[in-house]
Amino acid sequence: MSDLKQTPLYDLHLELDAKMVPFAGYEMPVQFPLGVMKEHNHTRDAAGLFDVSHMGQVIIRPKSGNIEDAALALESLIPMDVLALKEGRQRYGMLTNDQGGIRDDLMFANRGDHLYVVVNGACKDDDFAHMQAHISDSCELHMHDDRALLALQGPQAETALTRLIPEVADMAFMDVRTMPYKGVDLWISRSGYTGEDGYEISVPADQATGLARDLLAMDEVEMIGLGARDSLRLEGGLCLYGNDIDTQTTPIEAALTWAIQKARRSGGDREGGFPGADIILSQMADGVSRKRVGIAPEGRAPMRGGTPLYADSDSDTQIGTITSGGFGPTVGRPVAMGYVATDLSAKDTTLFAELRGKRLPVRIAALPFTPANFKR
């Protein structure tokens, strides 16, 4: 792992006996001594602390000084309504390509005089180059490699973080604020990737370990690795870029139509104007041939990404593929997501997955597998 990057919390992970693995170009903790199952359950029951410092943190600042210019610039790259996003609020978005595929998914926030965008670690350099190539005439862009990113997730996340910063209790889901702590500014959003209430906290890199230690000193908080992060987001029906969505997948196929606001849809005030708009808007009107669905294996065997799906037990024609799968500790059974032919995507439809040469029954299931507990 010698050419891999390390996050500012790397030494803390080693101190806590983490098992480190390559992920998105970084050495990242896949689990701690507690183990994936207990880490998952602890996050659902109390509060889990995640190192997500591999993610890209980008500031988009309008050269004109008018935030609307930055909003319109970003709208030229994503099918979301940036212009109507109020100061102090955050929204989910996607960079699209000319074929309607998803270059990356991201979060973007209006912070008054600039936009703050968080992109996936494996895509961040390409994303930044893409944004620079298309909107640098009107905006100044900066990637903050000098900051770490922590996620505190779970029903007791508020209890824990308010001991350090009482004002976070006033934040609602998708609020963003800048708050001081020990002489530095923390950029905090009430959001996350587990389906639970919680916060994502951007902190100067040299202060990240101190903040993590302050949180880990609390009984509610345990350090959580990538293994539990994956099982938590899968139960929450949340896509992992590179598995469930990619450049060959459109937002409509991915069942992410809800993320495209009215203003950017056909007949909206700013209809289209983003890469792949003709394809994406036509799919919204006419439908798609395949779609992302929840998949519940009938037995006890977890089914991983890449598992082929068939309409019946002896068919030679593959009608879909599992893109993410594993055991769901909260629901106590295997869970998965994948793409199937639209005419076979209705809830409770029985299909067959081929696992180690055997055809095993699976059922189309509603997403999420575990209800979201966001603070509205």
| Mean pLDDT computed over 184-190 | 98
Confidence of residue 63 (pLDDT cuts 50, 70, 90): very high
324 inside domain = yes
Number of domains in the chain: 2
Enclosing domain of residue 293: 289-376
Q: Are both 33 and 154 inside the same structural domain?
A: yes
Q: Are both 303 and 163 inside the same structural domain?
A: no
Give the CATH number for residue 335.
2.40.30.110
Confidence of residue 1 (pLDDT cuts 50, 70, 90): low
State percent of the chain over pLDDT 90: 97
Confidence of residue 160 (pLDDT cuts 50, 70, 90): very high
DSSP 321-349: EEEEEEEETTTTEEEEEEEEEGGG-STT-
Q: In 10 A of CB 160, how many CB atoms?
A: 24
Confidence of residue 360 (pLDDT cuts 50, 70, 90): very high
Q: How far is CA 276 from the centre of its chain?
A: 22
Q: What is the mean pLDDT of the chain?
A: 97
Q: Are both 228 and 305 inside the same structural domain?
A: no
To 10 degrees, the CA torsion angle through 102, 260, 58, 142?
Answer: 90
Q: Are both 213 and 294 inside the same structural domain?
A: no
No. of helices (H) and no. of strands (E), the chain: 8, 20
Phi, psi of 143 (to 5 degrees): -95, 125
356 CB-near residues (< 8 Å, 6+ apart): none
| Mean pLDDT computed over 344-353 | 98
Q: Are both 217 and 323 inside the same structural domain?
A: no
